[in-house]
Amino acid sequence: MAAIGQKWVPLYQIDAFTDKPFGGNAAAVCLLGDEELSDDRLQKIAVEMNQSETAFISKLSPQDDFNTSSVFRLRWFTPASEVLLCGHATLASAAALFYVIKNPSPQLTFQTLSGDLFARRDGDFISLDLPENKTQPQDEEKYKDLIKATIGSLPVQDLHFCSSVGGDLLVRIPDSITRKQFEEMKPDVQGMMAAHHDQIGDGVIVTLKGSVENGCVDEEGVQYDFVSRFFDPWSGLPEDPVTGSAHTVLASYWAEELGKTEFYARQCSERAGVLRVRLRGDGRVDIKGQAVVVTTGKINI
């Protein structure tokens, strides 16, 4: 029997951007309903969950229902802080409502710190409708210590910065670097922490143009348009497995570089994930992926 004063709400762990358990990027999804919790309490729950992000879904009014409503409030917390935008935890949130709660809506709307985000059913996939985040060229000298700590002796081909997602530095390495070299790259996390730049809030994206020659192909031999890795040690994420928000930055950058708007991409972390990305031309990016429910339960809030 629950003790007096305890309040239990649904909690799920969902692996996003994968079709198999224990791949992609895991997120905890907590259905708060109309419970009002302090930011400190939400942060404590995120620390307890110890995932790259914990998503909190709230009803907009007491009359709303997780089973039938289609518009909710959504917030994301890492174990260290709240974030402005998180793609994989948004995908996981939609999966919790679509696959566990059995919400029949064809599209869900999430009200967030980055505006309204949308999640649509797309066959076996969920398609996220997120804001495009543009980049600006940067002077490499300004970030030289941080870059060296992140990519070591690998050279830099291009350097851009995106302020609209809280501060992402995008480092492109030369096309001649192989996928093997890229995946074996080991950032100096302590060095990154020491070299942290005031403008960098959300992390460092390292990206490589895909080609058959450099080994950036899938198991069927299909070439990825680009691959990436994402590091954010100052937010408690030495390396994020699959980062949906980073692909709103990457889509904008690679559209300029490749002259196309649809991309087949891979994030090359240990867990890894595959994404289908489309830059729409209206300031929005569609990111399509799969998700797997791994754990269902309740948490005492």
pLDDT of residue 2: 46
Q: Grade residue 235 by pLDDT with cuts at 50, 70 and 90.
A: confident
Mean pLDDT of 85-107: 96
pLDDT in tens, 166-180: 679 999 999 999 999
Task: Please check whether the domain covering 136-282 is classified as CATH 3.90.600.10.
Answer: no
Q: Is the dihedral of CA 215, 136, 129, 67 positive or negative?
A: positive
pLDDT, residue 221, reads 96
pLDDT bracket for residue 112 (50, 70, 90): very high
CA dist., res. 179 & res. 291, Å (int)? 25
Indicate the pTM of the whole model.
0.88
Q: How far apart are CA 279 and CA 282, in angstroms?
A: 8
pLDDT at residue 5, rounded to an integer: 58
- What are residue 91's phi and psi, to 5 degrees? -60, -45
Question: Rounded to whole angstroms, what are the CA distances from 140 to 125, 149, 160, 161, 203?
Answer: 39, 13, 9, 11, 16
What's the confidence (pLDDT) of residue 202?
Answer: 72
Q: pLDDT, tens digit, for every residue of 2-54?
A: 455 589 999 999 999 999 999 999 999 999 998 899 999 999 999 999 998 99
Q: Give the pairing of strands 107-112 and 71-77.
A: parallel
**The pLDDT value given to residue 237:** 80
Positions marked catalytic:
53
- What does the mean pLDDT of the chain come to? 93
Instruction: Give the β-pairing of 82-83 and 71-77.
Output: antiparallel
The CA angle 225-265-77, to the nearest 5 degrees, is 145
In which residue ranges of the chain is CATH 3.10.310.10 found? 8-129+289-300, 136-282
Predicted confidence (pLDDT) at residue 156 exceeds the cutoff of 50: yes
Which CATH number is correct for 8-129+289-300, 3.10.310.10, 3.40.50.720, 3.90.550.10, 3.30.930.10?
Answer: 3.10.310.10
